Structure 1
Amino acid sequence: MTLPDALLDTLRAHFPGDAMATGMAERLAYAYDNSRRNALPDAVVFPTTHEQTEALVQACRAHRVPVIGRGRGTNTTGATVPVDGGVVVSFERMNRIVRIDPDNRLAVVEPGVLNGDLQQALKPHGFFWPPDPSSSPWCSIGGNLACNSAGPRTVKYGSPRENTLGMRAVAGTGEGFRCGTYTSKGATGYDLTRLLIGSEGTLALITEATLKLTPKPSALRTIRATYRDVSAAARAVARIMAQPVTPCALEFIDDVALKLARDYGGDTVPLAGAMLMIEVDGEPETLPSAVDAVSRAARGEGLEDLRVAETAEETAALWSARKALSPAQRTISPNKINEDVVVPVSRLPELVDGIKRLAKKHDVLIVSFGHAGNGNLHVNLLPRDEAERERSHACLAEVFALVISLEGTLSGEHGIGLVKKEFMPLALQPSTLHLMRSVKDAFDPEGILNPGKLLP
């Protein structure tokens, strides 16, 4: 697509100087995300105000030109790849923390604020924002909201949907609007805030968010438990989540992942059939009893070893396997297929057993780990050549079918993007998809916002 001269003139008027880029080098830099998919935009703009965003969408709507909102491109589903060309809107310059309000437990931020930067700013006030994806040093709040990206703490504190009070945004019509509240309770009309979260920029562009803050616990304890096999570990997860003390992190790592991590990170990584990394937080006087309750639930048939860290150094040592995992996978396969699926916690043993069977059936190396307390596993297929890549795609379709048969869902935090949209009819009935398309039409009648994503 070549942008019309009239549109280019309008955009230059609203985005003067380096606020707009049309050179090949800049366009290439915004053509891809962490999915490794690639498509060239026709221009990139860098708004600094809500009003600029409104003007942009109005101009692009008039010319039926696609508009693709973008945070820092850390997502893995192709959700920010401009497959139909058009204008990429990078929110990296809208990066102000507008205010932090400890009395009302909220913060107001622009979409380009990095998750890690917000957490640092909240520390002196004794608060945190619960969503903490592994990319938190680099990912933006806008991207977290667009994909409902969560992380380990979701098991206790919830995802962005549970931790966002309201927002300001621009619909595909070019109209700006506010939704949600500045209060912790609200029952005034439809909940557009939760609707926009996870919509991957297909309904509106978020220009400001009001986030719900949580007081930071003063103490934290880490537990590492190793098991004879993945089934024993999965059963332990179900026991842990069935007792009253909710851990603030409950991570699962299978045997294949442990072997990879040990090959990369050395013998500090244990050899086992599976491992759980568990964190419990709270106040110092109540923490020992909480740790004891979770440890009792972790014990059971198949447990090989359980260790509780007493110092920061011991905590770092216990986490060594998880830290070594991502670089270890990259040494095996640069074409890693990284999917996140979710099943009810009680069905987790069936999921991990099923994934083992599918890996054997298709002769594909699969590494499974993730946020087991939510039933959210990251299923990583590691093809090493073209034949394995073909088998991996066939295997992935069966993984998704398995997840749906277990009353699960296609994504917990990565979103749908390009990668999973063909599988949406597997997860949702036609009448549900029809309603979703009707919602899309109401927000974005010309279909210019992030076309080709999420909906099949």
Structure 2
Amino acid sequence: MIEITAVPPLSDVEDDGPIRVDSEALVESRFASYLADESGLDPGRAQTIFFPTFEKQVADFLREMNQRKMAVTLSGGRTGIVGGAVPHGGALLSLDRMNRIVGIRWDERSNEWRVTVQPGIRLKDFQDRIAKKDLVSGDVSSDPDWKDLPRFLTDPHRYLYPPDPTEDSASLGGTVATDASGARTYLFGRTRNHVRALRVVLATDDVLEIRRGENSLDLSRTVRIKSLDGRVKTIPIPSYESPHAKSTAGYLSMEKMDLIDLFIGSEGTLGVITLVEVALTVVPAHIAMFLAFFPSEDDAVRFVIRVRSLKDPNAPLRVHSLEYLDHNSLDLLRKMRQDGGPGAGIKLPDEKTVGAILCEFSYQDLAEAVGFLQKPLEDFHSSLDNAVTGMDERTMELLKQLRHAIPESINKIVAQRKKQVQGMHKIGTDTSVPDEKLELMVKSYSQILKASNLEHYVFGHVAENHLHVNILPRNQEELTQAERLAEKLAREAVAFGGTVSAEHGIGKMKKHLLRLMFSESALNEMIATKRALDPNMILSPGNVFEN
């Protein structure tokens, strides 16, 4: 059994105080943008909105809300697409103003730089400041949290914080709460791989400081928390085994799991993250990209499998990411080029190309790296000679824009159809499977989608067997058909040992899919964990579980 003692909440003598509004009408008129996210759900409502600047304010607010048994929805960058930040009454707690970097230190044991940051900072802002080594303004020479700053500034290496979800305007705390991932996850891992410590405020106002490596679960699957006032509560941890695939569906549960990983990816249902310590990574010396084209889906997928099999620390290159684009996605890119959109300066092959792989990699010797790639490409009827290569920042940025332009263009198409048919929206999947099931998943999905005759686009992080299917209905009948089709695709992924949500989470929009993955007993275990940490079930109601 793990035993952990709550700690006093942090406060700040220079704190300029929180902002609080207790009027549903004023919340709607002054803070309307906080009532919606990128999910497309109708805007929600809240009787109270609260903007803290420090941890103690969060603890005091949750104590009050818990006593009143008032629902609290957590809000970060509002970039999620499953409705997690949309409130359905009660209070909205926005972490926007908790956006400071509060310290940096060199960890001798792990030989890495670690940065401590509040949850409200935007991911792009944080990554830019790491890249520029511009972490703090003013004199912090007497602050123990910054004693290693001079060493960091004179370190000859460049550093990065690797997680790269598509929406870099997400808050860092939101990416931790959802265990966000992106294209580079294949090499660098998901957000949880870079989180070294958390401070979390529970609904009961207890504050936990959890450091990775200090709280590994044993066979008892229980945690005992001692509050500052001497109260002790026992928390049961789910006993099921999470899928052996990239997944953000439900609470993570694995043998000998670290307690910190229960809170990472819990979508704001177990506590409020108020401070995060993350590890930095050295920027590779040379990075390049290429977009290779294949005459069949099989060729594209088998190229990915071959490249993965060659993964070796001594290889002449390190693959960061492998992104798949199906023939419909390529057709969409061709149309955008004709209209002068993203990628207008990039030449795409003719319509005979069935699939493409966008690869980012780092290398020491370019000639060796090219030689290493050429044979796998030729074995699967492709070539670097016919690929679009990115050897400099400008061309690599164009290739990244090309990839990101696909979902953006899809959203524009859907917006136009929404004007013609009320309630129209796209239907998207977020499934992944274990490595050995990738070929089966692609073949199965291709057959199912072709038989449906619905407009669709398939793209995603194929290195991790993670594909997004976007279905674009034209009328209400097709919308109903698309919803059934998405559930069928999710069932297929689960049958292959995979997940219904690889990176977007469950939120309010995918709760029905959890039942495809988990038994009633497993779902009850999750709820028991939540109820033990949040007895009145006030945190993020409607997220992950039914109200």
Partner of 1:122: 130
Matches within 5 A, 1:234-383: 234-245=301-312, 246-266=318-338, 268-271=347-350, 272-282=353-363, 284-285=364-365, 288-303=367-382, 305-319=386-400, 321-334=402-415, 335-383=425-473
Alpha-carbon deviations, 1:182-224, whole Å to 9, x = none? xxxx243442211111100000000000011111112101122
Asked whether 1:404 is paired with 2:494, we answer yes
Could you tell me the TM-score, scaled by structure 2's length? 0.75
**Contact preservation (8 Å) 1:26, 1:44:** no
Q: Which amino acid aligns with 1:188?
A: N
Partner of 2:178: 147
Mapped to 2, the partners of 1:320 and 1:369 lie a distance apart of: 14
**Contact preservation (8 Å) 1:79, 1:418:** yes
**Contact preservation (8 Å) 2:215, 2:259:** no
**Contact preservation (8 Å) 1:262, 1:321:** no
Matches within 5 A, 1:14-93: 18-20=19-21, 22=23, 23=26, 24-38=28-42, 39-83=44-88, 85-93=89-97
For 1:409, what is the secondary structure of its paired residue? coil
Q: Which amino acid aligns with 2:74?
A: G
For 1:333, what is the secondary structure of its paired residue? helix
Mapped to 2, the partners of 1:454 and 1:204 lie a distance apart of: 14
The counterpart of 1:421, out of the listed 487, 511, 524, is 511
Per the TM alignment, residue 353 of structure 1 is displaced from its structure 2 partner at its CA by: 2.3
Asked whether 1:432 is paired with 2:432, we answer no
Q: Which amino acid aligns with 2:54?
A: T
Per the TM alignment, residue 317 of structure 1 is displaced from its structure 2 partner at its CA by: 4.7
Change (3 A) 1:295 1:117: farther
Alpha-carbon deviations, 1:382-432, whole Å to 9, x = none? 122222211110111101011111211111110011121111121123332
Change (3 A) 1:160 1:313: closer
**Contact preservation (8 Å) 2:130, 2:159:** yes
**Contact preservation (8 Å) 1:45, 1:88:** yes
Per the TM alignment, residue 302 of structure 1 is displaced from its structure 2 partner at its CA by: 4.0
Partner of 1:107: 115
Matches within 5 A, 1:203-222: 203-222=270-289
Change (3 A) 1:94 1:316: closer
Q: Which amino acid aligns with 1:229?
A: S
Asked whether 1:94 is paired with 2:92, we answer no
For 1:48, what is the secondary structure of its paired residue? coil
For 2:330, what is the secondary structure of its paired residue? helix
Structure 1 unmatched ranges of 5 or more: 1-13
For 2:208, what is the secondary structure of its paired residue? strand
**Contact preservation (8 Å) 1:129, 1:214:** yes
Per the TM alignment, residue 226 of structure 1 is displaced from its structure 2 partner at its CA by: 0.4
Mapped to 2, the partners of 1:239 and 1:369 lie a distance apart of: 19
**Contact preservation (8 Å) 2:39, 2:81:** yes
**Contact preservation (8 Å) 2:294, 2:356:** yes
Percent identity between the two aligned chains: 28
**Contact preservation (8 Å) 2:428, 2:486:** no
Alpha-carbon deviations, 1:259-288, whole Å to 9, x = none? 112111336344421110001114x34x54
Mapped to 1, the partners of 2:502 and 2:370 lie a distance apart of: 27
Partner of 1:196: 263
Q: Which has the higher helix share?
A: 1
Asked whether 1:164 is paired with 2:195, we answer yes
Asked whether 1:131 is paired with 2:163, we answer yes
Change (3 A) 1:437 1:34: same
Partner of 1:5: none
Could you tell me the TM-score, scaled by structure 1's length? 0.90
Per the TM alignment, residue 436 of structure 1 is displaced from its structure 2 partner at its CA by: 1.2
Alpha-carbon deviations, 1:8-29, whole Å to 9, x = none? xxxxxx9977443631223532
**Contact preservation (8 Å) 1:27, 1:40:** no
The count of corresponding residues between Structure 1 and Structure 2 is 435
Structure 2 unmatched ranges of 5 or more: 1-14, 134-157, 218-257, 313-317, 339-343, 416-424
Q: CA RMSD in A?
A: 2.2
